Amino acid sequence: MPLLDGFTPWPETDAARYRAEGYWTGTTLGAVLRNSARRTPRRTALVADGRRLSYAELDEAADRVAAGLRAHGLGPGSRLLVHLPNGLPFVLTLFGCFRAAVVPVLALPAHRESELVHLARLSGAAACVLHGGPEQPGLAEAVTRAAHTVRHVFTTGPAGPGPWHPFDALTAASPDAGAPDDARPQDVAVLLLSGGTTGLPKLIPRTHDDYAYNLRAAARAAGLDAHTVTLLALPAAHNFALACPGLLGTLHAGGTTVLAPSPAPDVAFDLIARERVTTVALVPPLVLAWLDAAEELAPDLSSLTLLQAGGARLKEETARRVRPVLGCALQQVYGMAEGLLNLTRLDDADETVFTTQGRPLSDADEVRVVAPDGTDVPEGATGELWTRGPYTLRGYFRAERHNATAFTPDGFYRSGDLVRRLPGGNLVVEGRLKDVINRGGDKVPVEEVENHLLAHPRVHDVALVGFPDADMGERTCAFVVPRGEAPTRRELLDHLVRRGVAAFKHPDRVRVLTGFPRTGAGKVDRAALARTLNTPAEAL
């Protein structure tokens, strides 16, 4: 029996095959850390918040947090909403959850009240852990007011009244010496957020077995070992930085993870030189920023051997600059929180690394490239990517209606990505079918943002459209049909801030129209709107 209702397990025949063929090894994510701690207790596991933790210390701290969670009535299957930046509390919370079989719901640091309330309600969170920044009291109040299941708020800042606790309440517990791991390999270990769906974010259940395979295989494909020093520059709450191979893959390999407080080049370059960082993962706008800054600052990046780039399409000309400027190899990663990872391999020819987004991580990944009628397109032609495999979900959490269309009856996930498959199996990402704008790796769900804008009293109708941008790949423009006097962009942004909408979803441009162009079927003609933006940048 699955621990969580609302989770769609793999059919038993597939699960049995994944076990028999060694993809699922019956391990838990808590055991990933435990195993490395047994092998190399004294090696440095983590450098974060000015502290260095050995594997033994991190392992013991994880046990303490697990005990702390249990002491607050959280147990197997309880959901814990986690809203933390890269830092020690994030890692401790994560492993405390894995050990106590509490399921963390990983919100992104950029998320605000609107997203957090939605996630707390959808997950039925019993508690949340919040970063102690200036906005924290407001966020805590909003979440507890709107989500009645939330009984405890832990915060890394000063604790307020009521059900608020300092984060130390979790770490102060004495570990139940030798307490067994409460988790079972087949159960949901973590709920990730979808960047790829329309409407409000969906929750992606990842089991211990599937995610452990994901991080092991990704660690192998990225060549990680005990000498690896990974810089976590992207938010650790995102799948790419968490397990592709990221934090979890590095812990599995017995290497060291350095948590960067910011991905800004000056901060990151200092950490790379000081900690002799070997590996880092970035989204394309950051790759560009690092390349430009490295040319200017000539930092010591001599330890760096691998840059992974993913989250959005990397331009070929940017890819070609990586080795000459940063002195390291490039690996393109085309992944999704839903599961499937594609990567270029370390021994691929340069042309493959510069011009493709790689091929599936696993021999067991099934990838189809299909035409609108669901038939496979010929090799080299563009179609939608459908996938199924040992680490790709079979259903979003508690989303029965959406699941009916997001998956085929035989369990393929319809990614909504338009790709081409080249001879040799490498994929090139050509675009998207779904209404999500990829703003430099940040996914902007069109319908969600339009609904927020529609709630403005002077917005009669609105269409959010992406337009090409040299640095970000795409940016967003809100076409507004006003009711009475048109609102200014500033007024609309203030409105979104008041509604607690993450800043990366705020439109980069606003254009006022008296009405929308329509397609033959009477729908808003988004393509026609987009064409009006193909003009050189105008004043924002």
| Residues contributing to the site for ligand OOB (CB under 6 A) | 195-196, 239-240, 244, 310-313, 332-337, 341, 357, 415, 417, 429, 432, 438, 443
Q: CB of residue 159 vs ligand OOB: minimum separation in angstroms? A: 32
Q: Least distance (Å) from ligand OOB to the CB of residue 473?
A: 8
Rounded to a whole number of angstroms, the minimum distance from the CB of residue 268 to ligand OOB is 18
Asked if residue 6 lies in contact with residue 397, where contact means CB atoms within 8 angstroms, the answer is yes
Exposure string of 239-268, with b = 16+ CB inside 10 Å and e = fewer, is bbbbbbbbbbbbbbbbbbbbbbeebebeeb
Least distance between ligand OOB and beta carbon 332 (Å): 6
Between residues 303 and 355, which has the closer beta carbon with respect to ligand OOB?
355
Task: From 76, 149, 155, 89, select the one nearest 119 (Cα to Cα).
Answer: 149
DSSP 378-427: PTTSEEEEEEE-TTS-SS-TT-HHHHHHHB-TTS-EEEEEEEEE-TTS-E
Q: Is the Cβ of residue 233 or residue 341 nearer to ligand OOB in the bound state?
A: 341
Of the two residues 3 and 289, which places its CB atom closer to ligand OOB in the complex?
289
Any residues with CB less than 8 A from the CB of 363 and at least 6 apart, and which?
none
Name 13's Cβ contacts closer than 8 Å, sequence gap at least 6: none
H-assigned helices in 298-342: 316-326
Identity of the residue, 253 or 429, whose beta carbon is nearer to ligand OOB in the bound complex: 429
CB-based closest residue to ligand OOB: 335
3-state per-residue secondary structure call for 347-384: CCCHHHHHHCCCEECCCCCEEEEECCCCCECCCCCEEE
Tell me the three state secondary structure of residue 121: helix
Residue number with CB closer to ligand OOB (335 or 411): 335
State the SS3 of 457-498: CCEEEEEEEEEEECCCEEEEEEEEEECCCCCCHHHHHHHHHH
Give the nearer residue to ligand OOB in terms of CB position, either 78 or 438: 438
- Least distance from C-beta 341 to ligand OOB, angstroms? 6
Is 482 exposed, middle or buried, given 0-12, 13-18 or 19+ CB atoms closer than 10 A?
Answer: middle
Q: Which is nearer to ligand OOB, 100 or 281 (CB)?
A: 281
Q: Which is nearer to ligand OOB, 244 or 326 (CB)?
A: 244
Pairing type for strands 329-335 and 341-343 reads antiparallel
- Of 338, 328, 332, the closest CA to residue 388 belongs to 338
Which residue, 455 or 503, has its beta carbon nearer to ligand OOB? 503
Choice between 299 and 339, CB closer to ligand OOB: 339
- Measured from the CB of residue 314, what is the shortest distance to ligand OOB in angstroms? 6
Residue 429 CB, shortest distance to ligand OOB, in Å, is 4
Tokens of residue 350, six digits: 């340069």
- Give whichever of 417 and 450 is closer to ligand OOB, judged by the CB atom: 417
Shortest Å distance, C-beta 415 to ligand OOB: 5
453 touches 459 (CB < 8 A)? yes
Q: How far is the CB of 357 from ligand OOB (least distance, A)?
A: 5
Nearest of 237, 66, 92, 77 to residue 156 by alpha carbon? 92
d(CA 268, CA 257): 13
**Contact call for residues 140 and 164 (beta carbons, < 8 A):** yes
State the nearest-atom distance from the C-beta of 343 to ligand OOB, in Å. 9
Instruction: Give residue 443's identity as a one-letter amino acid code.
Output: K
* Burial of 98 from C-beta contacts in 10 A (0-12 / 13-18 / 19+): buried
Distance of CA 116 to the CA centre of its chain: 15
Token output for 37: 């701690």
Residue 132 or 358 having the CB closest to ligand OOB: 358
Please report how close the Cβ of residue 439 comes to ligand OOB at its closest, in angstroms: 11
Q: How far is the CB of 239 from ligand OOB (least distance, A)?
A: 4
